[in-house]
Structure 1
Amino acid sequence: MAIQSNELIPSSSPEELKKVLQAVASEWGDVIEDMDALQATPLKGALTNEVYQINWPAKNGSLVRKVLVRIYGEGVEIFFNRDDEIKTFECMSRHGQGPQLLGRFSDGRIEQFIHARTLSAADLRDPQISALIAAKMREFHNLDMPGPIYVLLWDRLRNWLNKAKSLCSTKDAKEFRLDTLEEEIRMLEQELPQPHQEIRFCHNDLQYGNIMIDEETRAITIIDYEYASFNTVAYDLANHFCEMAANYHTDTPHILDYSIYPGLEERRRFVRVYLSYAGNQPSESEVDQLVHDAEKYTLANHLFWGLWGIISAYVNKIDFNYTEYARQRFQQYWSRKPSLLNSSAIPNGNNVNGHVV
């Protein structure tokens, strides 16, 4: 699809985008004079931004240049600070992680196109690929990132709750029990953190669409750091496990299937590989403890993405049923809370529908 019209890529500054693309092309010795020479392909599955692959013929005609254009979603500044996210992006690039930042414009940016395949929902359940993800997650957590080592999760939840209350209709506020959530957040903040838990710089959104694999080298690349922050590693693991219930490339991408939430042995296998990174030899008790902690942190994860869904339903124009997504997340929170908070037992292999009981 050629982008001669400004409708394909709905940037509020199409001329600005054109100039940045021309500057990127110039860095590579190319010249873009005619926007008809550009080919744009929208990439599905993004829930916060709109993402496009942009191609143009190189000057010598022997190859095709590829970049990724990311148009920021409406209202997403509610969820994270864009300047902080760009700093994280640039720091990751210096660490040799993820794509390079090629250019910025007022409501988006241009990134290096990574020649790798974005994972599918099924890939997360492939034991070999899952092991690669576990090792890569530990490598990500071991990166030396700037900033205070402070768990932002609880402040973020409170801020999002306040925003949801300000946006919601009376009907939605009642359905989602928003008046009770401040106490739930306070309770989780007291209950979940433990002295033994490790705090690292976490991705916080490790769904399959944010993971890429090079089919030849089997190298894993983690992308998209909008929600990244210092956090307990148990939360990042919990988020990844919860994402195994999702498939964003179906006719009903908002529907979650918790009957396929990973079972205890699958989670233990992932955690064992995670803790074994760089030649470490974790004990079974260490594996079991982290699996146990991650399962409890699914509660915070359900609140996180539930509030995200409520807010997104009011501010984001992407074609996705955010309200129904939020509804399922809160249903999981309330149904799982009693068993997860009333048990301090380390998992022993007994589980129902994939969850420890």
Structure 2
Amino acid sequence: IQECNILSMRHHSSDLAIIDYEYASLGNREFDLANTFCEMIEDNAYPYFPYIALYLENCPTQEEFEEYSKYYLELYHESFGAPEETKEEYVARELPQFLENLYCCMVFDGYFWGIWSILMIEEDKINDKIFNFSLGVLRMKITHHLLTLDFVKEAVDNKIRKYKASQE
């Protein structure tokens, strides 16, 4: 959870709301999770110049991606699933495609936010310029790191193969 994404309710001080509206319109559940995983690797509140840091060791393992995705799909089925399909059947059917989409979205997320942060650089704001450039570089480094993971490369290659086959 990034800073400024936790709200405390005025009338009920013990109630909290977690928000993150900046990319909600993209509407892809795998993209939302991909962004969450990428944010686990970076620290936008790092106290020293350039005020952002990268921790590749925080990147989840393939097993952690799978466990988190299974849990997500189980909760999704409990909320929206069809009663004629068990939770286990739903997860078994959805998980392979969900993981492939998740890994591809993580690569896209790194490029998307990397380019976005560089486009946000304003000439007259030196500190913002340095921060946004640093964020852009970090997101590109995250993307590069992800593409060194065999299971991510395999998912991206598989997606490209499917697209090429659909064009023939």
TM-score norm. by structure 1 comes to 0.33
Change in CA separation of 1:219 and 1:287 when aligned onto 2, cut-off 3 Å: farther
User: Out of 302, 318, 323, which is 2:133 matched to?
Assistant: 323
1:304 — aligned with what?
A: 112
Change in CA separation of 1:341 and 1:260 when aligned onto 2, cut-off 3 Å: closer
Residue by residue over 1:125-178, the C-alpha shift from the partner in whole angstroms, topping out at 9 and shown as x without a partner, is: xxxxxxxxxxxxxxxxxxxxxxxxxxxxxxxxxxxxxxxxxxxxxxxxxxxxxx
Which amino acid in 2 is paired with 1:247? D
Gaps of 5+ in 2: 82-86, 157-168
2:24 — aligned with what?
A: 228
Q: SS where residue 221 of structure 1 aligns?
A: strand
Change in CA separation of 1:327 and 1:251 when aligned onto 2, cut-off 3 Å: same
Give the Å deviation of 1:267.
2.3
> Does residue 343 in structure 1 map to residue 139 in structure 2?
no
Contact persistence 2:62–2:151 (CA under 8 A): no
> Does residue 257 in structure 1 map to residue 55 in structure 2?
yes
Task: Kindly name which structure, 1 or 2, has the bigger radius of gyration based on alpha carbons.
Answer: 1
Change in CA separation of 1:304 and 1:316 when aligned onto 2, cut-off 3 Å: farther
2:65 — aligned with what?
A: 267
Give the Å deviation of 1:233.
1.7
Alpha-carbon distance between aligned partners in 1 of 2:144 and 2:32, rounded to the nearest angstrom? 21
Contact persistence 1:296–1:340 (CA under 8 A): no
Contact persistence 1:256–1:325 (CA under 8 A): no
Give the Å deviation of 1:209.
4.2
Superposed, 1:268-307 pairs within 5 Å as 268-277=66-75, 279=78, 280=81, 281=87, 282-307=90-115
Change in CA separation of 1:343 and 1:269 when aligned onto 2, cut-off 3 Å: closer
Give the Å deviation of 1:335.
4.8
Superposed, 1:93-132 pairs within 5 Å as none
Which amino acid in 2 is paired with 1:273? Y
2:159 — aligned with what?
A: none
2:142 — aligned with what?
A: 332
Contact persistence 2:34–2:106 (CA under 8 A): yes
Alpha-carbon distance between aligned partners in 2 of 1:311 and 1:286, rounded to the nearest angstrom? 36
Gaps of 5+ in 1: 1-118, 120-206, 346-357
Superposed, 1:32-71 pairs within 5 Å as none
Change in CA separation of 1:251 and 1:230 when aligned onto 2, cut-off 3 Å: closer
User: Out of 177, 191, 210, which is 2:5 matched to?
Assistant: 210
Give the Å deviation of 1:301.
0.5
Give the Å deviation of 1:327.
1.4
Give the Å deviation of 1:333.
2.8
Contact persistence 2:5–2:18 (CA under 8 A): yes
Q: Return the structure number with greater strand share.
A: 1
Alpha-carbon distance between aligned partners in 2 of 1:254 and 1:337, rounded to the nearest angstrom? 22
Equivalences, count: 139
Change in CA separation of 1:208 and 1:243 when aligned onto 2, cut-off 3 Å: farther
Alpha-carbon distance between aligned partners in 2 of 1:264 and 1:336, rounded to the nearest angstrom? 11
Q: SS where residue 250 of structure 1 aligns?
A: coil
Superposed, 1:69-80 pairs within 5 Å as none
Contact persistence 2:70–2:95 (CA under 8 A): yes
Identity %: 25
Contact persistence 2:73–2:91 (CA under 8 A): no
Change in CA separation of 1:316 and 1:242 when aligned onto 2, cut-off 3 Å: farther
1:140 — aligned with what?
A: none
Give the Å deviation of 1:211.
4.2
Give the Å deviation of 1:315.
5.6
Change in CA separation of 1:307 and 1:249 when aligned onto 2, cut-off 3 Å: same
Which amino acid in 2 is paired with 1:312? M
Give the Å deviation of 1:285.
4.6
